[in-house]
Chains A and B, each alone.
Chain A
Amino acid sequence: MEAMEKVIETTNLTKTYKKILAVNNLNLTIYEKDVFGFLGPNGAGKTTTIKMMMGITKPTKGSVKILGYDVFKDGVKAKMQIGFVPDQFDFYPELNAVEHLNYYASLFRIPKEERSKRINELMEMVGLSERKNSKVKTYSHGMRQRLVIAQALINKPKLLVLDEPTVGLDPKGSYETRQLIKKLGKEITIFISSHLLYEVQEVCNKVGIINNGKLLRVDSINNLTKLGGEVNVQIECTNMNDRLTNAVRGIDGVVDLSADGNILKAKVKNSGVIPEIVTVITREGGRIKSVSEVTLSLEDAFLRLTGEKNEG
């Protein structure tokens, strides 16, 4: 099997601002075709990490390689392959969308004859075709957000870095952006920083959680939602009584149990405990209608890892 190409590789990446440690020895490797979600609370170091990846901010220590190029030594070569959507940005108010894209395309040394075709495709893709000749100062926030995505794709990048790409968008715009990211994720590597957990859960296959500048965990969403190995089980049954619930609570491996009408919610150490619960309920006269395994939400995993939710 062919080895996956490393698209982003940070080594001991550290950034301090006076006495504040914004990013602390970050070691992160992202491979091609990953759609990587970078999660963390406000001030965790997400944007600082991205700025170092883009060569905007210099690290205090460590290095960043994009597709094998050191961002600070071979920045131009690295950036040839990257599309970037920053969390805060502005355009030149007197230029229109086409002039912007033409300018950015020229910085990628895209030949003139290719530019107009590419610009028209992108304008179509982000739905700005009808307003492409209007000055950007007349654009709404949503239109600017769509234009910033278009400019990030002008060079057909191998890596797309998005910092909070749906902030400020209306639900439709946000949905369309996620759909676009999903579509692009099938072809290129995407690094997306977001505080919107449902967004990350929807579009990413791998997640990194950062807090106080420290990378806490990098894993697939599947593994993260099984954090600690505990499984939540929901059982719907009739003939519930105290004897039954006490018997289930007494099973070795049941960590927590609560009953709500006909619904029994149990947190168990592993899936192997579930058949025993079913046996005990049947034995105690309960009639089971359904058994379902409820996985941990990414939000729960995130809160646990960042220490903002007590184990319970």
Chain B
Amino acid sequence: MRDELTGIYNIAKKEFYMNLKTKRLLIIGIILGVVFISASTYGGILLGGNPDEPLYKQGPNIVLRMVLSITSIFPAILAIALSYDSIVGERVKKSIYLLLSKPVSRNEIFCGKFLGAFSSIAAVYVAVLSIGYICIIGVSGILPSAGDVLKACGASGLILICIACWIALAMLFSTVFKTTTSCLIVSIVMWLFIIPIVSQIGVIYYAVTTNALTQHGLKNTDFPWYAKMLYAINPDNCASAYSNILGGAWQAVSVLSTKESIAGMVLFFIVVFLLGLYIFRKTDLD
């Protein structure tokens, strides 16, 4: 077990180091940083403008919530960009032969590659998020309470789970497909079309059959189990979960409660990750 952990750590360390050297992470990271910090600064200016404004009373977390919503496509973009070729890329280039000839199991390779991608994206995201939060506080001049900081940490944690889900999905396709292009296309189609559409089917069916959308004050407890189950397959649900955590004056109707969103993401991650691992173990890599 200790040897396996060492193997995972060594592979993850190399993946982390290599990811930091890639132009993909640099370019997307810079765009994320610019958008996030600009939006945070602008939000901080609006927040600190007038102490009598309702926004002022809601504190820095309301701005963080808005900025996270603006940048909500980045977790999936970063995850897919860095992990779609993690396995298939090595197969195509044949560098995987050298790796497979070393005394590491396929479990170690898969877990190491996952952790390498996750840690590099998480490092970028946490850095950008921290700088952005500091900008909001600095520009607005409003100090958050300890509870606010804790909630901001919770929201960051949810985004990291979301990133883990998208990495697991991209890696699953990376084990299935034999070309990097097909893996990239399928990952993007799944992210932008298939998963969002499928996740909405239950809600749409419920809405059409019960005229639920015309009702006022609809709560997540009103939705039937099948609508919740289908809705939970989209890792981007973390947006509604961190919105609930960060709070604010307005709350959108969400199909899932915060706990249900988290449970859905964790379940999504476990299923997709284990499926990817299973396929990688069983695949002939020639």
Contact = CB atoms under 8 A, between A and B. Distances in A.
A27 B13 CA distance: 40
Interface string A71-111: 00001110110101010111110110000000110111100
Contact of A90 (B6, B14, B94): B94
Contacts of B94: 86, 88-90
Contacts of B93: 90
B259 interface: no
Interface string B7-39: 100110110001001100000000000000000
A72 to B, nearest CB: 11
Contact residues of B: prevailing secondary structure: helix
Given A86-B94, A90-B95, A54 B100 contact: yes
Given A56-B286, A94-B21, A107-B7, A79 B95 contact: no
A51 B286 contact: yes
Contact of B103 (A51, A89, A91, A108): A108
Contact of A107 (B11, B18, B286): B11
Q: Select the residue from A79, A106, A107, A151 with max chain B CB neighbours within 10 A.
A: A107
Interface in A258-305: none
Contacts of B105: 75-76
Contact of A89 (B21, B98, B284, B286): B98
Interface in A130-184: 148, 151
A57 interface: yes
A38 B10 CA distance: 34
A55 interface: yes
A104 B98 contact: yes
Given A75-B105, A79-B101, A108-B103, A103 B95 contact: no
B97 A56 contact: yes
Contacts of A106: 10, 13
Contacts of A103: 10, 14
A196 B175 CA distance: 35
A76 B103 contact: yes
Nearest to A103: B14
Contacts of A109: 3, 6, 103
Nearest to B94: A88
A56 B286 CA distance: 7
Nearest to B96: A56
Nearest to B97: A86
Contacts of B18: 92, 94-95
A57 B103 contact: no
B89 to A, nearest CB: 10
A180 B19 CA distance: 36
A226 interface: no
Given A58-B284, A107-B104, A92 B10 contact: no
B102 interface: yes
A91 B96 CA distance: 9
A186 B13 CA distance: 37
B62 to A, nearest CB: 41
A122 to B, nearest CB: 15
A66 to B, nearest CB: 11
Contacts of A54: 97, 100-101
B285 interface: yes
A183 B104 CA distance: 29
A54 B103 CA distance: 10
A95 B97 CA distance: 17
Interface string A190-205: 0000000000000000
Interface in B98-129: 98-105
Contact of A82 (B11, B13, B101, B284): B101
Nearest to A106: B10
A102 to B, nearest CB: 9
A204 B117 CA distance: 44
Contacts of A89: 94-95, 97-98
A139 B284 CA distance: 30
Contacts of A79: 101-103
A76 to B, nearest CB: 5
Interface of A: 48, 51, 54-58, 75-77, 79-80, 82, 84, 86, 88-92, 94-95, 103-104, 106-109, 148, 151
9 contacts: A54-B97, A56-B97, A57-B285, A84-B97, A90-B93, A92-B14, A107-B99, A107-B104, A148-B98
| A-B residue pairs, 9 tightest by C-beta | A84-B101, A107-B102, A79-B103, A90-B93, A106-B10, A86-B97, A76-B103, A90-B95, A88-B94
Given A76-B103, A151-B98, 20 more contacts: A51-B286, A54-B100, A54-B101, A56-B101, A56-B285, A56-B286, A57-B284, A57-B286, A76-B104, A79-B101, A86-B97, A86-B98, A89-B94, A91-B95, A92-B18, A94-B22, A106-B13, A107-B7, A107-B10, A107-B103
